[in-house]
Amino acid sequence: MKVLVACEYSGTVRNAFLSRGHDAWSCDLLPSEDGSNRHIQGDARDLLDDGWDCLIVAHPPCTRLCNSGVRWLHRPPAGKTLRQMWRELREGAALFSDFWNAPIPLRCIENPVMHKHAKALIDNYREFAQSVQPWQFGHGETKRTCLWLHDLPPLVPTDVVGGRENRVHRMPPGPDRWKERSRFFKGIAEAMADQWGALA
C-alpha cells in the first residue's frame, strides 16, 4: 500500500506502516524528527494527486476547529483580534476540506470534536466515524481522539490497559508544549498499520 501520513514530523505512523512492508511517507512543514529519508518537508496538499492508496492525516492544525477553542471566536486571546481568529478558522477548515475531499481511496483524518462554525465551513462535512482513547491501545492515558474515516473500518482496540492519566492535558506551559501535545500514540499507529494495511 502506498501511504501518505500528512501533518506528521515524528514518523510514528509512517514507521508503523513501513515496518509492515508498506511504501509509507510522512510530510510536514517541519523536518522529520528522526531524520528519515521517508519524510517530505512541505505542504502535504501538494502531494495529494500523486497516486496514494491511503491518506492518514495524523495531526492537522486544530486549534481553531475544536470545541475547546470556540470561545476565542467571540473574545480573542491577548495579542489577537477577532479578525485573526476567524481567518485562522477559515484556513483550518480549508485544510481539513482539502484532505477530506482528496482523490485518495482510503482516508483518515484525526481531530478533536469540532464546533458548529468549523463544520459549516468544511466541504462535504460529515460527523467523525469513531473516537478512540490511548488506553484502548496499550497506553495508560486519556486523550480522546476522533477519527473521520472514508472507506476505512473503525479501529478495533488491541490492548485495553488500566490507568487513566491525563498527561497531555496537564503538560506545563513551554515552547515545545504544542509539539508534545500533538505527538501520536504508537499503539494507535500500530493498530492502523495492522488493521488498515491488511486492506491492501
Lowest mean pLDDT among 23-37, 43-57, 104-118, 169-183: 169-183
Which tens digits make up the pLDDT trace of 117-173? 999 999 999 999 999 999 999 999 999 999 999 999 999 999 999 988 876 555 556
- Residue from 22, 95, 83 nearest 57 by CA: 95
- Residue from 44, 62, 60 nearest 3 by CA: 44
Can you give the pLDDT at residue 172?
A: 57
**CATH of 2-197 among 3.10.105.10, 3.40.50.150, 3.40.50.620, 3.40.50.1980:** 3.40.50.150
Of how many residues is the chain composed? 200
More confident residue, 191 or 179: 191
Residue 165 pairs with which residues in a beta bridge? 141
Can you give the pLDDT at residue 34?
A: 94
Of the pLDDT bands very low, low, confident and very high (cuts 50, 70, 90), residue 178 is: very low
In this structure, which amino acid lies at residue 189? A
DSSP string over the chain: -EEEEES-SS-HHHHHHHTTT-EEEEEESSPPTT--TTEEES-GGGGTTS--SEEEE-----TTTBGGGGGGGTSPPTT--HHHHHHHHHHHHHHHHHHHT-S-SEEEEEE-PBPHHHHHHSTT----SEEE-GGGBT--B---EEEEEES-PPPPP-B--S--B-TTTTPPP-TTHHHHHTPPPHHHHHHHHHHHHTT-
Q: In the predicted model, is pLDDT for residue 175 greater than 50?
A: yes
Kindly state the average pLDDT of the residues 19-31: 97
Which tens digits make up the pLDDT trace of 62-90? 778 888 778 888 888 889 999 999 999 99
Can you give the pLDDT at residue 121?
A: 93
Domain spans of the chain, in order of start: 2-197
Task: Tell me the whole-structure pTM to 2 decimals.
Answer: 0.89
User: For the purposes of burial, counting CB atoms within 10 Å of the CB of 90, is it exposed (0-12), middle (13-18) or buried (19 or more)?
Assistant: middle
Can you give the pLDDT at residue 176?
A: 59
From residue 199, alpha-carbon distances to 24, 107, 159, 192, 194 in Å are 15, 12, 21, 11, 9
Kindly state the average pLDDT of the residues 186-194: 97
Q: In the predicted model, is pLDDT for residue 200 greater than 60?
A: yes
Which tens digits make up the pLDDT trace of 29-39? 999 999 999 99
